[in-house]
Structure 1
Amino acid sequence: MGSVQRAMRLLEAVARHQHGAPAKQLARETGLALPTAYHLLRTLVHEGYLRRDRGLFFLGEAAERLGRRGAQQKRRTTVSDVLARWRDSIGAPVYYATYREGEIQVLCVSDGPGRPAGREWADFRETGHAHALGQCLLAQLDDAARRDHLDRHPVRPLTPYTVPNGHELLRRLDRVGRTGPVIEHQEYALGTVCAAVPLTMGDTVGALALSLPHRQADRLLAAARQLRREIGRLIEQITPSISI
């Protein structure tokens, strides 16, 4: 345990020096005897956590991977917290998805007791024509990208209410436009209604959605409007930090 603690102190010390630091300086900053520092530095280099160049030590690829994973985990935790807050204020499960590399990717779902998420009984990636999230994402694409998606994932009926064919879906997407909300009644699953609103930040094509039991369909439009307001407030909060 002592060796691990000393190695971590060395890693932290190296991270503070963007342009690298020699072993003697790192030993002095961490309060380690020079032979101990040399031994741990060599081990960290061997394991890929540090690299040595012209007598200076820098963070290695292994340490950088840990940093990227930590940042990614932090972003996921932040998204989960935001969605949970919206779930509780709106009173419905909330979904977040993006369109990346030609596919629909559901990244986060926030549900809870009394607010169960809809069951993914048919792959969301292949049935974007039938659910609000998918339709909202496809509406933000250009015509060529939409047609390419439908060539790979053709329209097929999931319920009696599913859009009947690709031509009708494309007409619907044109009516919705890139910024409009999408309302879907039992097209993906019987007994469930959904609404989705676009979330566009930079080049990211994203959408947020909520679902309700069909018996609460009269709440759907108001809930979608509330979700859109919440998104607007969030963007207002983070825009200053983005510009910095």
Structure 2
Amino acid sequence: MTHTVAADGTAPTLIASAQRALRLLEAAAQYPKGATAKQLARDTGLALGTAYHLLRTLVHDRYLERRSGLYRTGPAVAGLLGNDGPSAGRARLKALLGTLADELSAAVYFTWYRHGEVELIEAAEAPGAPLTDRRHWRSGAHAHAAGKTLLALMTAEERRNHLARYPMVPFTPYTLRDPAHLPLLTRQGPRRAVPVTQFQEYVLGTAGAAVPIVAGSGIGAVSVSLPMAQAHRLAGIAAQLRTRLGDDFAAVAFGI
């Protein structure tokens, strides 16, 4: 991906580019029949030149399609979250998760809600912040930060269905047991949402935080985990997730 030059003369970070790309992906997902570059630039608040640059990249990598001057989501968006084995998109996602984990010095996870299940798509650890136990990621969604975020984004029917199949069993003495105490978020305003946190609810000695992702009708979460000895860092990392990753990480997940 060719980087443009920022207003201060420096090359923008990968995160900044991903943030803008996500905005375009989210905007394009709202137009099943396609939208013009001008429409997408207006919807995202991007300069038209910047929008064109990112749209060309997204089309080149098949995350968008351009037909008769209209842009719509492309096959790579659906293909990335498939179970067809390793793909270029998954490889890029894994590499970028590793970069982010190193930046934050925290373990990072990308989770998606698919076919009624909370699925861990990819994860990366960092020195001093190993990955937590993922064996109960689906059944323990009420306990880890990513799962609590997805439960908060689900419709009431989706949440009832999930909890009927996966009751809120305790994983630790701190695990939340009452569905009434689960957070609630709207799919229309996830960027303004306060990051969801958990302290030793999923695994003793581990804390975590997550921000929601809404891309068209899909919902997901980017989360981090830290040893409790580093829990004092969680608020700062959660703030970074809210201001940076809530907008850009779907684009990272789509291989940007």
8 Å Cα contact 1:156/1:165 also seen in 2: no
How far apart are residue 237 of structure 1 and its match? 7.7
Give the TM-score normalised by the residue count of structure 2.
0.59
Following superposition, the deviation at residue 89 of structure 1 comes to: 1.0
1:231 and 2:241 correspond: no
SS at match of 1:188: coil
Match of 1:183 in 2: 197
Are residues 177 and 184 of structure 1, via their aligned partners in 2, closer, same or farther at CA, if it must alter by over 3 Å? Answer: farther
Partner amino acid, structure 2, of 1:126:
S
Query: How far apart, CA to CA, are the structure 1 residues paired with 2:249 and 2:231?
Result: 28
In the aligned structure 2, how far is the partner of 1:89 from the partner of 1:228?
A: 15
**Identical-residue share of aligned pairs (%):** 37
Q: Is the 8 A contact 1:90 1:227 kept in 2?
A: no
Superposition map of 1:93-242 within 5 A? 93-120=107-134, 122-168=135-181, 172-174=182-184, 177-178=186-187, 179=190, 180=193, 181-231=195-245, 234=248
Report the CA distance shift for 1:235/1:190 in structure 2 as closer, same or farther (over 3 A).
Answer: closer
Q: Distance in 1 between matches of 2:153 and 2:204?
A: 26
Equivalent residue number for residue 41 of structure 1: none
Contact preservation (8 Å) 1:86, 1:230: no
Partner of 1:61: none
Structure 1 length-normalised TM: 0.62
Distance 1:192 1:69 in 2: 29
| 1:6-39 Cα distance to aligned partner (Å, 9 max, x none) | xxxxxxxxxxxxxxxxxxxxxxxxxxxxxxxxxx
Q: CA deviation at 1:234?
A: 3.0
Q: Which region of structure 1 is more displaced relative to structure 2, 91-100 or 213-222? A: 213-222
* 1:26-37 mapped onto 2 (5 Å cutoff): none
1:81 CA drift (Å): 1.9
C-alpha distance in 2, partners of 1:118/1:130?
12
Name the CA distance, whole Å, in 2 between partners of 1:123 and 1:84: 22
In 2, are the aligned partners of 1:192 and 1:213 still within 8 Å (CA)? yes
Give the number of the structure whose alpha-carbon radius of gyration is greater: 1
* Cα displacement (A) at 1:119: 2.1
**Residue 164 of structure 1, CA deviation:** 2.2
Query: Given residue 123 of structure 1, which amino acid in structure 2 is its aligned partner?
Result: H
Query: Distance between the aligned counterparts of 2:202 and 2:249, measured in 1?
Result: 30
Does the Cα contact within 8 Å between 1:194 and 1:220 map onto a contact in 2?
yes
Deviation at 1:114, TM superposition (A): 2.6
Where does structure 1 differ by over 6 angstroms across 4 or more consecutive aligned residues? Answer: 68-72, 235-238
Deviation at residue 165 of structure 1 after TM alignment: 2.4
Bigger proportion of residues as helix: 1
Deviation at residue 83 of structure 1 after TM alignment: 1.2
The answer to whether the aligner puts 1:76 opposite 2:90 as a matched pair is yes
Per-residue CA deviations over 1:157-212 (Å, capped at 9, x if unaligned) read 111111122333xxx323x5552210100000110000010111122211000001
Q: CA 1:236 to 1:211, structure 2 compared with 1: closer, same or farther past 3 Å?
A: closer
Cα distance per residue 1:81-130 (max 9 Å; x no partner): 2211211111101000100111110000111433311123x511111111
Which fold has the larger relative contact order, with Cα–Cα distance below 8 Å and residues 6 or more apart in sequence? 2
Letter in structure 2 aligned against 1:103: E
Find the aligned partners of 2:106 and 2:121 in 1 and give their Cα distance: 17
Q: CA deviation at 1:70?
A: 9.3
Q: Deviations for 1:62-96, whole angstroms, at most 9, x for unmatched residues?
A: xxx9xx99997111112112211211111101000
